[in-house]
């Protein structure tokens, strides 16, 4: 589990260096394997605008760019396929030192002079992306002041330190930032931030008008379904994409990123269905029937058997419970209404389903080890809070919360842990 | 044919000049070769005489240097008469080429056989002569003897150490029942902790043991406390093989069960172990870790042998992060803990009556830390350049 320090600070106030936090976690059974820094400052890397892109006369895959780096025009040879005129890019000027100790020098590349280098996200340790040059307007949502020649680190803000924490099998509560925050708070003192306390106290409540039935009561102790309408799918804002990237995931869109945010923050897996692609609309939580099939989000058709718990609509399975959603009900660019699933499942049932399909996902990993059954209402409330902030104009639709009398089997921890400050 | 050389005379059916200096008279040619000479007569009397003489020379060579020299003159790969002649034949008119080619190929085979036979004879003769001439003043040649594998050495050393602390050895099967490998060690069925042990299953319930800890269960089922045992052996995991993972490796577990055994006893034992293996100056720490079969569980770390726990090393180009401990100053040595009450219950011991500690280490890991071995695969590669260093 990757633990970004800035995310931890969003939840608790504490006065300690990342190294001290790492040591405290290690001594409490959460072994910290490594400490990484993203977005370190690299002196000499500045904001620049590409003025013109021409073919390199002696190379097919290189282009010859005229670039304005604030202090006059430069000529730069670039190998990235996405470079185009007008783009705002990070430019490593002559003399800049990049990660790994590469020093930028003026040189001739295939006979053409190059007075710097345009950088990809990976080259600057901003993210793992090495597909092309960073498009700063897109990367920063175009909201930063793009003064040409301004040092990049001023534009990007402070660097992010991320702890790589090994979560023991008996502490599934550590598979979320808030769980680790509790541990850090217990070790080092400190208080919940105002936002943190408020979110921990928040509880989802909603209508009772969605058609939801839990048929496998043992497999699913709790299921909250909440429809959301008036949605516009869009890329997430920078702060959310940064969060998602900091824990090693790829940002997809505002809805998927919001579910992932709650997953990594609280440890509660969520799933969003496209409500218009759910027949009924109705949800049945049941075992798969012999011969049933589903195409999962990874676009593979998978045969199901009655050992596998599924989420079905009136006609067919739409998700493998606790493991992976179905491609047929995936939230996509055209989605305007979604159905949020916030559920508790039996760890053994999810583990068998994941094994039967040969799948291991961030959700199944958490359900197998045991997700705090008390988390659901706080997680659903947090998702709606985040979504309202990044997708203005949404409205809540039909909803239902079903809790079966079955006491959930304990996961790997000594007993269920309930989310409390 | 190259420009700087005339065609070999034999390619034109002519004899090379001065080819037979010092070769004996063909009169001594053994009778079984007469047939070959007769065959060669068809290519010409001169050539037949030439090869008869050549054969005679080989068969009469008095010692190996002489044989080598004649062989080189005739059949040498670079400048041998026959070799050169055969090489030049493609430029000879067709009829002539057929006639000479057949003759030279026959001669080549025949002379080759003769040479090999004479070589064997000369070599045998030399050996027979040498047998009677033993020089007793030569220094003796030490017979090559093998030595113990580095892992065997470490195992012996560990067993010796624990023997001194009162432990005896207990061995258990490598093909193990699932109940012993997992169930009775407090891995419930369908428990994710089983995922940490990628298992080779032999059948639905039999498997290649993934650790030596099943030995505890077998020993405790057989015997009554107090117990002080070590469990050396080979274990198997279905791992992707890389620099630090093998699909088979070796462990030594230890188990001490009695009344009032405490974590302090464990710590004392492990410190004795660490100092014995890594030297008296080593520092250790125990940090909490989860294993299903112990509670509490601990990981024993030793101060890094490369940087003495500093996390940094100094070299000609200044200070840098220690590459062995990756800057932490600590190296992971083994796992340990107090035996889980569920394990005692599974073997019929009363956890209210007895307590115990246990530890388990990978031999390869201990050897790598101690000797600075960077690659786990070396242990099984049987490369003498590696093995002879220990």
Chain segment B265-297, per-residue pLDDT in tens: 999 999 999 999 998 989 999 999 999 999 999
pLDDT at A143 over 80: no
Long-range contacts of range A415-421, CB-CB < 8 Å, 24 or more positions apart? Answer: A416/A370, A416/A372, A416/A373, A416/A374, A417/A173, A417/A372, A417/A374, A418/A372, A418/A373, A418/A374, A419/A178, A419/A200, A419/A266, A419/A372, A419/A374, A419/A375, A419/A378, A420/A200, A421/A192, A421/A197, A421/A200, A421/A201
Question: Is there a contact between B192 and A169 if contact means CB atoms under 8 Å apart?
Answer: yes
* Of A238-252, A260-274, B52-66, B173-187, the least confident: B52-66
pLDDT score for B25: 62
CB contacts under 8 A, A 147-206 vs B, are 168-171
Asked if A18 reaches chain B (Cβ–Cβ under 8 Å), the answer is no
pLDDT score for B13: 73
Residue partners of B330: CB distance under 8 A and separation at least 6? B285, B301, B302, B303, B304, B309
- Taken in order B23, B27, B28, B33, the sign of the CA dihedral is positive
Question: Is there a contact between A169 and B287 if contact means CB atoms under 8 Å apart?
Answer: no
Q: How confident is the model at residue A147 (pLDDT cuts 50, 70, 90)?
A: confident
Residue of A25, A34, A37, A168 to mutate for B, most B C-beta atoms under 10 A? A168
Q: Quick one: closest CA in A to B288, which residue? A: A29
Q: Which residue has the higher pLDDT, B142 or A139?
A: B142
pLDDT at B309 over 90: no
Q: Which of A416-420, B123-127, B352-356 has the highest mean pLDDT?
A: B352-356
Whole-number percent of chain B with pLDDT over 90: 44
Q: How would DSSP label each residue in B230-245?
A: EEEEEEE--PPPBTTB
**What's the mean pLDDT when you consider all of chain B?**
87
* Domain chopping of chain B, boundaries: 9-131, 150-387
Single out the residue of A45, A58, A23 nearest to residue A165, CA to CA: A23
Single out the residue of B183, B181, B177, B235 nearest to residue B206, CA to CA: B177
In this complex, the residue of B192, B287, B289 whose CB is nearest that of residue A412 is: B192
pLDDT score for A9: 95
Q: How confident is the model at residue B24 (pLDDT cuts 50, 70, 90)?
A: low
**What's the mean pLDDT when you consider all of chain A?**
88
| Arithmetic mean of pLDDT, A158-183 | 92
Asked if A410 reaches chain B (Cβ–Cβ under 8 Å), the answer is no
Whole-number percent of chain B with pLDDT over 70: 94
Q: Quick one: closest CA in B to A370, which residue? A: B192
**B190 interaction partners in chain A (CB closer than 8 Å):** 347-348, 351-352
**Structure-token match 């010692």, residue found:** B63
**A34 interaction partners in chain B (CB closer than 8 Å):** 326
Cα–Cα distance between B116 and A252 in angstroms, integer?
A: 78
**B290 interaction partners in chain A (CB closer than 8 Å):** 29, 168-171
Cα–Cα distance between B226 and B260 in angstroms, integer?
A: 11
In this complex, the residue of B190, B287, B326 whose CB is nearest that of residue A26 is: B287
Whole-number percent of chain A with pLDDT over 90: 58
In this complex, the residue of A27, A365, A412 whose CB is nearest that of residue B191 is: A412
| Arithmetic mean of pLDDT, A399-407 | 81
pLDDT score for A145: 61
pLDDT at A416 over 80: no
pLDDT at B231 over 50: yes
**B287 interaction partners in chain A (CB closer than 8 Å):** 26-27, 29, 31
CB pairs below 8 Å between A and B: how many? 36
pLDDT score for B32: 67
Relative to beta strand B248-258, strand A301-303 is unpaired
pLDDT at A166 over 50: yes
CA distance B80 to chain A (A): 54
Question: Is there a contact between B192 and A170 if contact means CB atoms under 8 Å apart?
Answer: no
Residue A219, token pair as written in the block? 């497999």
Give all domains of chain A, ordered by start, each with its CATH number: 1-39+159-201 (3.30.56.10), 45-153 (2.40.50.140), 203-403 (3.50.40.10)
| Arithmetic mean of pLDDT, B297-311 | 88
**A168 interaction partners in chain B (CB closer than 8 Å):** 289-290
Q: Which residue has the higher pLDDT, B91 or B345?
A: B345
pLDDT score for A409: 55
- The 10s digit of each residue's pLDDT in B242-272 is 888 889 999 999 999 999 999 999 999 999 9
Q: Which residue has the higher pLDDT, A186 or B14?
A: A186
How distant, in Å, are the alpha carbons of A167, A341, B173 from that of A417?
Answer: 16, 21, 40
Q: How confident is the model at residue A407 (pLDDT cuts 50, 70, 90)?
A: low
Question: Is there a contact between B190 and A169 if contact means CB atoms under 8 Å apart?
Answer: no
What is the three-class DSSP state of B80?
Answer: coil
pLDDT score for A275: 95
| Arithmetic mean of pLDDT, B55-84 | 85
- The 10s digit of each residue's pLDDT in B198-207 is 899 999 899 9
Asked if A28 reaches chain B (Cβ–Cβ under 8 Å), the answer is yes
**A356 interaction partners in chain B (CB closer than 8 Å):** none
Predicted structure pTM score: 0.73
CA distance B189 to chain A (A): 9
pLDDT at B61 over 60: yes
Q: Quick one: closest CA in B to A172, which residue? A: B192
Q: Quick one: closest CA in A to B287, which residue? A: A27
Q: Which residue has the higher pLDDT, B278 or B2?
A: B278
pLDDT at A418 over 60: no
- Taken in order A238, A260, A319, A277, the sign of the CA dihedral is negative
Exposure pattern of A273-297 as b/e (b: 16+ CB <10 Å)? bbbebbeebebbbbbbeeebebebb
| Arithmetic mean of pLDDT, A289-310 | 94
| Arithmetic mean of pLDDT, B193-201 | 87
Expressed in angstroms, the distance from the first to the final Cα of chain A is 22
| Arithmetic mean of pLDDT, B304-309 | 83
Asked if B190 reaches chain A (Cβ–Cβ under 8 Å), the answer is yes
pLDDT score for A98: 81
pLDDT score for A421: 36
Domain over B150-387 is classified CATH 3.40.50.720: no
Residue B283 near residue B303 (C-beta atoms within 8 A): yes
pLDDT at B11 over 80: no
CA atoms within 13 A on the CB side of B242: 3
pLDDT score for B243: 84
pLDDT score for B89: 82
* Of A216-220, A237-241, B4-8, B166-170, the least confident: B4-8
pLDDT at A417 over 80: no
Question: Is there a contact between A348 and B190 if contact means CB atoms under 8 Å apart?
Answer: yes
Question: Is there a contact between B289 and A31 if contact means CB atoms under 8 Å apart?
Answer: yes
CB contacts under 8 A, A 336-395 vs B, are 347-348, 351-352, 365, 368-369
Residue partners of B167: CB distance under 8 A and separation at least 6? B228, B229, B230, B254, B256
Host H or E run for residue A120 = none
Distance, C-alpha A192 to centroid of its chain? 23
Residue B277 near residue B370 (C-beta atoms within 8 A): yes
Residue of A18, A23, A218, A412 to mutate for B, most B C-beta atoms under 10 A? A412
In this complex, the residue of A27, A169, A351 whose CB is nearest that of residue B287 is: A27
pLDDT at B352 over 80: yes
**C-beta atoms surrounding A232 within 10 Å:** 13
pLDDT score for B20: 63
pLDDT at B3 over 90: no
Residue A333, token pair as written in the block? 């660019």
| Arithmetic mean of pLDDT, A293-299 | 93
Q: What angle do CA B347, B353, B357 make, to 5 degrees?
A: 70
Expressed in angstroms, the distance from the first to the final Cα of chain B is 58
| Arithmetic mean of pLDDT, A62-82 | 86
**Structure-token match 């998602």, residue found:** A244
How distant, in Å, are the alpha carbons of A145, A152, A189, B293, B380 from that of A148?
Answer: 9, 10, 44, 61, 59
Q: Which residue has the higher pLDDT, A144 or A385?
A: A385
pLDDT score for A308: 95
Whole-number percent of chain A with pLDDT over 70: 95
Q: Which of A77-86, B95-104, B339-348 has the highest mean pLDDT?
A: B339-348
Host H or E run for residue B385 = helix B384-387
Asked if A417 reaches chain B (Cβ–Cβ under 8 Å), the answer is no
List of E strands, A56-157? 63-68, 73-78, 88-93, 107-109, 112-114, 116-118
pLDDT at B40 over 80: no
């Amino acid at each position: 589990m990757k633990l970004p320090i800035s995310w931890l600070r969003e939840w608790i106030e504490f006065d300690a260096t990342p190294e001290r936090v790492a040591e405290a976690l290690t001594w409490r059974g959460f072994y910290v394997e490594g400490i990484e820094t993203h977005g370190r400052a690299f002196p000499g890397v500045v904001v620049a605008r590409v003025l013109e892109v021409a073919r390199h006369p002696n190379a097919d895959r290189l282009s010859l760019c005229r670039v304005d780096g604030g202090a006059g025009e430069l000529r730069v040879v670039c190998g990235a396929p996405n470079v185009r005129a007008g783009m705002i890019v990070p430019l490593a000027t002559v003399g800049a030192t990049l990660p790994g100790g590469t020093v930028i020098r003026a040189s001739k590349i295939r006979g053409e002079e190059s007075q710097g280098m345009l950088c990809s996200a990976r080259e600057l340790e901003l993210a793992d992306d090495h597909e092309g040059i960073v498009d700063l307007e897109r990367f920063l949502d175009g909201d930063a002041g793009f003064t040409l020649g301004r040092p990049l680190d001023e534009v990007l803000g402070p660097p992010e330190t991320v702890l790589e924490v090994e979560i023991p099998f008996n502490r599934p509560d550590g598979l979320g930032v808030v769980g680790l925050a509790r541990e850090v708070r217990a070790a080092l003192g400190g208080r919940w931030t105002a936002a943190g306390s408020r979110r921990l106290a928040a509880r989802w409540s909603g209508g009772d008008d969605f058609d939801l039935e839990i048929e496998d009561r043992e497999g699913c102790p709790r299921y909250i379904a909440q429809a959301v309408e008036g949605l516009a799918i869009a890329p997430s804002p920078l702060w959310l994409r940064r969060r998602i990237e900091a824990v090693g995931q790829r940002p997809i869109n505002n809805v998927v990123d919001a579910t992932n945010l709650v997953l990594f923050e609280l440890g509660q897996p969520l799933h969003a269905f496209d409500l218009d692609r759910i027949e009924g609309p109705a949800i049945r939580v049941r075992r798969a029937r012999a011969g049933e099939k589903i195409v999962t989000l990874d676009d593979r058709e998978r045969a199901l058997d009655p050992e596998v718990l599924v989420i079905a609509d009136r006609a067919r399975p739409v998700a493998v419970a606790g493991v992976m959603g179905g491609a047929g009900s995936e939230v996509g660019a055209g989605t305007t209404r979604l159905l949020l699933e916030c559920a508790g499942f039996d760890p053994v049932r999810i583990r068998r389903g994941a094994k039967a399909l040969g799948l291991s996902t961030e959700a199944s990993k958490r359900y197998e080890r045991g997700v705090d059954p008390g988390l659901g209402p706080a997680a659903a409330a947090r998702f709606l809070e985040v979504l309202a902030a990044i997708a203005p104009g949404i409205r809540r639709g039909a909803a239902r919360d079903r809790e079966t009398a079955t006491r959930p089997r304990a996961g790997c921890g000594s007993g269920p842990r309930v989310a409390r400050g | 044919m190259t420009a700087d050389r005339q065609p070999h005379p034999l390619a034109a059916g002519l004899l090379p000049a001065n080819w037979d200096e010092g070769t004996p008279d063909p009169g001594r040619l053994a009778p079984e070769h007469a047939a070959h000479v007769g065959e060669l007569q068809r290519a010409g009397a001169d050539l037949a005489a030439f090869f008869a003489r050549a054969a005679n020379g080989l068969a009469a060579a008095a010692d190996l240097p002489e044989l080598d020299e004649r062989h080189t003159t005739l059949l040498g790969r670079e400048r041998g008469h026959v070799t050169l002649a055969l090489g030049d034949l493609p430029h000879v008119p067709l009829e002539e080429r057929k006639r000479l080619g057949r003759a030279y190929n026959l001669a080549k085979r025949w002379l080759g056989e003769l040479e090999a036979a004479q070589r064997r004879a000369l070599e045998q003769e030399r050996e027979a002569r040498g047998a009677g001439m033993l020089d007793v003043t030569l220094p003796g040649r030490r017979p090559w003897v093998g030595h113990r594998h580095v892992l065997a050495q470490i195992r012996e050393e560990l067993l010796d150490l624990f023997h001194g602390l009162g432990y005896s050895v207990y061995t258990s099967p490598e093909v193990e029942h699932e109940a012993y490998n997992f169930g009775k060690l407090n891995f419930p069925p369908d428990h994710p902790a089983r995922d940490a042990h990628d298992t080779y299953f032999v059948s639905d319930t039999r498997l290649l043991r993934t650790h030596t800890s099943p030995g505890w269960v077998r020993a405790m089922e057989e015997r009554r406390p107090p117990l002080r045992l070590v469990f050396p052996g080979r274990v198997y995991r279905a791992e992707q093989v890389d620099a630090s993972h093998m699909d088979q490796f070796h462990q030594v577990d230890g188990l001490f069960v009695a009344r009032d055994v405490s974590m302090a006893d464990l710590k004392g034992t492990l410190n004795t172990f660490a100092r014995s293996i890594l030297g008296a100056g080593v520092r250790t720490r125990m940090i909490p870790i989860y294993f299903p079969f112990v509670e509490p569980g601990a990981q024993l770390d030793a101060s890094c042998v490369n940087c003495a726990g500093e996390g940094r090393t100094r070299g000609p180009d200044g200070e840098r992060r220690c590459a062995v401990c990756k800057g932490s100053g600590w190296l992971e040595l083994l796992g340990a803990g107090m035996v889980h009450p569920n394990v005692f219950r599974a073997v019929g011991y009363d956890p209210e009556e007895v307590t115990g500690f246990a530890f388990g280490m990978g031999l390869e890991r201990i050897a790598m830390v101690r000797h600075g071995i960077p690659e786990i695969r070396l242990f099984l590669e049987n490369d003498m350049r590696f093995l002879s260093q220990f």
